């Protein structure tokens, strides 16, 4: 029989390595080892994730002919699974003469936590066939393994089983269901589960907030956080990370600062994902200085941290800073495909065409394995922005990937900017075949024809939209003032101060025309006279939002406006002249990038 002294030596090795006293160190000095001796040693290995020592403990059990009881055998399964030795854990489970729900769940959880969902689901089925009834922990573990193309169907099957066994409303099962429905973009079912839970904790709130954020429902995510906070629940790092992602989508700087302050006051332990979200949030709110400060103060950084700050600089068109930061990455941080995408995107937004092409050629030569369709899409966007449309088309035809709708869409947008009708018609035909339901493609093609004065073709495209029952996404701009989101649409009719705004925008128009502003009538895509075109331009949502900002914020404060589509040239020029005439800094974030406008100049260099 195994001497207790041997177990004591093993436990002492763990304690010395971790500089802590434990139950293992208190094993008897002599005599036969008993159940409690083994249990204490295995528990110590679980707590310290000491796989090597755990294997020695198990080996001595076998050598001594000691057959662990159900409880102790289950603890061995847990120990191996916790240490990632899933093969050893499965061998112990398969060799057990009897198993209970804890044994099965330990193994299923091990598979799930080590990203082996197929084995977890297969073992769950084996467990049911063996006649063992699962508990709430089993179902929660199984739900996290429902991934891939069949994930949502598997979730629904497990959900049905949970309903039959009365586990649907259990906190662990409900939170797991909520999380999986949210991740699969089934927000209606996620919301139903959330409201059915008899009691909600921070985990369930975090799951639904993450789901809303993933689907772009940022205002709903913010409202749920307010509800959580008002109920007095203590938020964790994961909750704050999800909330910051929502605030990034809203570009809500004031809320972002408040949340950052709350995080600092709570003195939460360092959590890299949370710091990365702060970097991303500040950059999307137009505060790169704050992003850089968070980045510089991080005690350690992952490649995701570097990607976040690189993307931030690229989003603002600061291509030289992107290149400089990329060169300063330490050797121990290996760039991944997202890093290279951030660098190429920075060159594209900054207008450094030749430098971007040189970088792409270098990547092709040295890091070809990291390339994917998005990198080619970035280079095609870069060529399109610079007007090299034929070269972009040639790259699409030669690249080793099948072009996506996003790539064709990028090239079509470039054709609109440079009014290239032959390439534009070719690309539009491709897109209308791929996604005939996408209104944006019809609109851009119509815009190309309108910019060239081809009104008959404009009407033909619009008739095609009516025939296919395609509806254009309306442009809208918004700003946050005193914690209220003010949204504006073209020729706004519903804002409570619409009369004041319309009067003020006309007053501003007189002032900026006196300062030399000339409206760009090519931005009006209707066959009407010039006077009517000027009136239509004044109704653009960006101008209304900027006007409201001038009316509603103190002099000297920046005006922050967000736009769901690409800002038009006339509104961009309007913002530049307003900033000069009224001495205001204007931050405009459209679908593609940031425009920080001061004293009549924009950080984009009029290249976007």
Q: pLDDT for 181-198, tens place per residue?
A: 888 878 888 888 888 888
- The residue-averaged pLDDT of 371-400 equals 91
Give the residue carrying structure tokens 């679980």. 46
Distance CA 529, CA 513 (A): 19
Contact residues for 358 (Cβ-Cβ < 8 A; gap 6+) = none
Name which of 142, 203, 197, 144 is nearest 168 in CA terms. Answer: 197
Is residue 316 scored above 60 in pLDDT?
A: yes
Residues 27 and 11: beta-carbon distance below 8 Å? yes
Contact residues for 204 (Cβ-Cβ < 8 A; gap 6+) = 171, 174, 175, 178, 194, 197
Specify burial of residue 233 (Cβ count, 10 A radius: 0-12, 13-18, 19+). middle
Give the residue carrying structure tokens 């050598």. 63
Is residue 32 scored above 70 in pLDDT?
A: no
Name which of 553, 597, 551, 536 is nearest 572 in CA terms. Answer: 597
Q: What is the SS3 assignment for 562?
A: strand
Output DSSP code: residue 566.
P
Structure confidence at residue 23 (pLDDT): 38
Strands 484-489 and 559-563: what pairing? unpaired
Q: What is the overall mean pLDDT for the chain?
A: 87
Is residue 339 scored above 60 in pLDDT?
A: yes
Structure confidence at residue 6 (pLDDT): 53
Residues 320 and 284: beta-carbon distance below 8 Å? no
Residues 432 and 441: beta-carbon distance below 8 Å? yes
Q: Calculate the alpha carbon distances from 144 to 155, 198, 206, 532, 589 in Å.
A: 9, 22, 15, 58, 36
Write b or e for each residue in 543-556: b if 16 or more Cβ atoms lie within 10 A of its Cβ, otherwise e.
bbbbbbbbeebeee
Is residue 417 scored above 90 in pLDDT?
A: no
Query: Per residue, what are the HEC states of 570-595?
Result: HHHHHHHHHHHHHCCCEEEECCCCEE
Reported confidence tier of residue 491, pLDDT bands at 50, 70, 90: confident
Q: What is the SS3 assignment for 257?
A: helix
Distance CA 415, CA 289 (A): 35
In which region does residue 286 sit, left (phi positive, over 0), alpha (psi from -120 to 50) or beta (all else)? left
Structure confidence at residue 26 (pLDDT): 42
Cα-Cα-Cα-Cα dihedral sign, residues 530, 534, 539, 543: positive
- The residue-averaged pLDDT of 322-331 equals 90
User: DSSP states of 118-156 as a string?
Assistant: HHHHHHHHHHHHTTPPP-HHHHHHHHTT--STTHHHHHH
Give the residue carrying structure tokens 């073992």. 123
Specify burial of residue 228 (Cβ count, 10 A radius: 0-12, 13-18, 19+). buried
Structure confidence at residue 551 (pLDDT): 93
- Model pLDDT for residues 130-156, shown as the tens digit of each residue: 999 999 999 999 999 998 878 889 999
Of the two residues 361 and 494, the one the predictor is more confident about is 361
Distance CA 18, CA 248 (A): 41
- The residue-averaged pLDDT of 335-345 equals 92
For the chain, give the percent of residues with pLDDT over 70: 94
- Model pLDDT for residues 513-541, shown as the tens digit of each residue: 999 999 888 777 676 777 888 888 889 99
Residues 344 and 370: beta-carbon distance below 8 Å? no
- The residue-averaged pLDDT of 421-448 equals 89
Is residue 21 scored above 60 in pLDDT?
A: no
Q: What is the SS3 assignment for 487?
A: strand
Structure confidence at residue 79 (pLDDT): 95
Reported confidence tier of residue 268, pLDDT bands at 50, 70, 90: confident
- Report how far Cα 131 is from the mean position of its chain's Cα atoms: 41
Distance CA 144, CA 419 (A): 50
Per this entry, what is the length of the chain?
A: 608
What token pair was written down for 139?
A: 């179902």
Reported confidence tier of residue 16, pLDDT bands at 50, 70, 90: very low
3-state helix, strand, coil in the chain (%, to 5): 65, 5, 30
Q: What is the largest CA-CA distance in the chain?
A: 103
Distance CA 215, CA 231 (A): 25
Is residue 299 scored above 50 in pLDDT?
A: yes
Structure confidence at residue 203 (pLDDT): 84
Is residue 277 scored above 90 in pLDDT?
A: yes
Structure confidence at residue 27 (pLDDT): 40
Structure confidence at residue 515 (pLDDT): 92
Task: Provide the angle, in degrees to the nearest 10, between the axes of the packed helices 136-143 and 101-113.
Answer: 20
Distance CA 19, CA 9 (A): 15
- The residue-averaged pLDDT of 158-171 equals 90
- The residue-averaged pLDDT of 67-73 equals 92
Structure confidence at residue 242 (pLDDT): 92
Structure confidence at residue 536 (pLDDT): 87
Is residue 446 scored above 60 in pLDDT?
A: yes
Distance CA 470, CA 461 (A): 11
Distance CA 161, CA 127 (A): 14
Q: Calculate the alpha carbon distances from 217 to 228, 246, 370, 600 in Å.
A: 17, 8, 32, 34
Is residue 31 scored above 60 in pLDDT?
A: no
Distance CA 574, CA 513 (A): 10
Is residue 570 scored above 60 in pLDDT?
A: yes
Name which of 261, 268, 221 is nearest 243 in CA terms. Answer: 221
CA dihedral 524, 525, 526, 529 (to 10 degrees): 40
Name which of 32, 69, 39 is nearest 54 in CA terms. Answer: 39
- Model pLDDT for residues 391-401, shown as the tens digit of each residue: 999 999 999 99
Residues 201 and 171: beta-carbon distance below 8 Å? yes
Bridge partners, 3 (sequence order): 32
Of the two residues 5 and 210, the one the predictor is more confident about is 210
Structure confidence at residue 556 (pLDDT): 83
What token pair was written down for 48?
A: 């310290």
Bridge partners, 487 (sequence order): 478
For the chain, give the percent of residues with pLDDT over 90: 47
- The residue-averaged pLDDT of 424-453 equals 88
- The residue-averaged pLDDT of 42-59 equals 90
Q: Calculate the alpha carbon distances from 442 to 98, 409, 436 in Å.
A: 66, 11, 9
Reported confidence tier of residue 444, pLDDT bands at 50, 70, 90: confident
């Amino acid at each position: 029989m195994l001497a207790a002294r041997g177990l004591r030596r093993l436990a002492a090795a763990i304690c010395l390595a971790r500089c802590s006293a434990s139950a293992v160190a208190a094993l008897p000095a002599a005599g036969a080892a008993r159940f409690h001796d083994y249990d204490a040693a295995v528990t110590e290995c679980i707590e310290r994730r000491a796989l090597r020592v755990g294997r020695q403990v198990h080996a001595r059990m076998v050598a001594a002919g000691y057959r662990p009881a159900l409880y102790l055998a289950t603890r061995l399964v847990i120990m191996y699974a916790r240490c990632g030795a899933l093969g050893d854990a499965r061998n112990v489970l398969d060799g057990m003469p009897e198993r209970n729900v804890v044994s099965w769940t330990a193994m299923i959880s091990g598979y799930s936590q080590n990203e082996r969902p197929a084995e977890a689901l297969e073992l769950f089925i084996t467990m049911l066939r063996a006649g063992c009834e699962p508990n709430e922990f089993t179902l929660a573990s199984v739900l996290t393994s429902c991934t891939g193309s069949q994930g949502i169907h598997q979730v629904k099957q497990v959900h049905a089983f949970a309903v039959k066994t009365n586990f649907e409303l259990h906190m662990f099962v409900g939170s797991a269901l909520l999380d999986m429905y949210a991740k699969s973009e089934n927000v209606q079912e996620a919301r139903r589960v959330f409201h059915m839970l008899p009691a909600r904790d921070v985990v369930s709130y975090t799951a639904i907030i993450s789901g809303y954020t993933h689907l772009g429902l940022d205002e709903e995510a913010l409202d749920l956080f307010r509800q959580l906070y008002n109920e007095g629940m203590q938020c964790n790092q994961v909750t704050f990370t999800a909330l910051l992602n929502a605030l990034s989508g809203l570009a809500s700087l004031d809320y972002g600062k408040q949340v950052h302050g709350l995080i600092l006051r709570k003195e939460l332990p360092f959590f890299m994902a949370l710091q990365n979200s702060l970097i991303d949030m500040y950059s999307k709110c137009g505060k790169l200085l704050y992003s850089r400060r968070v980045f510089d103060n991080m005690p350690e950084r992952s490649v995701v941290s570097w990607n976040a700050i690189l993307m931030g600089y690229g989003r603002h068109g600061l291509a030289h800073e992107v290149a400089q930061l990329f060169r300063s990455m330490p050797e121990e941080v290996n760039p991944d495909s997202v890093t290279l995408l951030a660098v190429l995107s920075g060159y594209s937004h900054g207008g450094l065409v030749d430098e971007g092409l040189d970088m792409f050629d270098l990547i092709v030569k040295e890091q070809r394995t990291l390339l994917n369709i998005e990198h080619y899409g970035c280079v095609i966007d870069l060529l399109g922005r610079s007007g090299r449309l034929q070269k972009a088309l040639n790259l699409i035809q030669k690249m080793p990937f099948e072009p996506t709708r996003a790539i064709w869409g990028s090239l079509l947008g470039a054709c609109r900017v440079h009014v290239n009708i032959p390439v534009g018609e070719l690309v539009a035909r491709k897109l209308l075949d791929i996604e005939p339901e996408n209104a944006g493609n019809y609109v851009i093609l119509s815009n190309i024809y309108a910019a060239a004065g081809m009104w008959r073709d404009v009407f033909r495209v619009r008739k095609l939209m009516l025939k296919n029952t395609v509806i254009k996404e309306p442009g809208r701009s918004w700003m946050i003032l005193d914690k209220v989101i003010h949204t504006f649409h073209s020729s706004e009719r519903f804002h409570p101060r619409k009369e004041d705004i319309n009067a003020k925008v006309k007053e501003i128009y007189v002032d900026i025309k006196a300062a030399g502003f000339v409206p760009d009538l090519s931005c009006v895509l209707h066959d009407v006279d010039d006077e009517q075109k000027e009136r239509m331009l004044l109704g653009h949502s960006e101008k209304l939002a900027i006007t409201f900002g001038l009316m509603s914020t103190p002099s000297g404060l920046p005006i922050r406006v967000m736009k769901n589509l690409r800002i038009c040239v006339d509104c961009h020029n309007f913002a530049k002249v307003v900033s000069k005439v009224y001495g205001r800094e204007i931050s405009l974030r459209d679908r593609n990038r940031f425009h920080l406008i001061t004293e009549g100049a924009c950080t984009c260099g009029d290249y976007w």
